[in-house]
Structures are given as structure tokens and as C-alpha cells.
Amino acid sequence: AQSVTQPDIHITVSEGASLELRCNYSYGATPYLFWYVQSPGQGLQLLLKYFSGDTLVQGIKGFEAEFKRSQSSFNLRKPSVHWSDAAEYFCAVGAQAGTALIFGKGTTLSVSS
């Protein structure tokens, strides 16, 4: 079955510390992978995407993610977290670019001062 697992429901990180959000997927075909961020009361904003090529992808707001096919993972990282990064983060996978995405349940990030 196709699925996306985000093992961490809630993570708290100190401002300035590094961040890694985990994402594991189960997908039969070559996956298209995405990370989205959602602030309270807002829609989803795309942070980064992986379609093919270099397995380390750079996104907006200083985020990056690494695709590891052998581990079926696509973890999101940021070297130094800012208070404004507090939000909910979603990993998603699809068969082709953009349509019928399967989303993980999300990880809520809190940033402490």
C-alpha cells in the first residue's frame, strides 16, 4: 500500500539549533517527493521537491532534504532554526508531478527561545 510516515508528531527545537524531520514512504513506482509547510490558518507552501537527479535538494527558507532510495526516506533538514519556522510540516509522495499526492500526518515544530 502507498503511504507516507512521519514518525514524529511534535518536535521542539531551540532557536539556532539544527533540525531534522523524518519522512518514510512506501510507493510502488518511482516517487515524486515533496515537503510542504503550513502555518496556522493558512494553506500549504511548498518547501522543496525531488523528482530525479541529485539526491540532496535545496529549498526555500534554508531547508534541504535528502532522498535515500535504499531507506525509502526523504528527511528534511535545516542547520539553524528560527522562531518563524514554527509550523506544521508535511511530507508527500506522488506518482507524477503534483497530482493525487499522498500526505503524511504531519510534524508540528515548536521553537523555544
Minimum gap (Å) between residue 111 Cβ and another protein: 22
Q: Can you read off the three cell numbers belonging to residue 91?
A: 511530507
d(CA 56, CA 89): 18
Binding marks (x or -) toward another protein, 46..65, rule CB under 8 A? x--x----------------
Nearer residue to another protein within complex by CB, 27 or 103: 103
Secondary structure element (H or E) that encloses residue 26, with its range: strand 24-26
Contact call for residue 22 and another protein (CB under 8 A): no
Residues that bind another protein (CB under 8 A): 32, 34, 36, 41-46, 49, 90, 92, 96-106
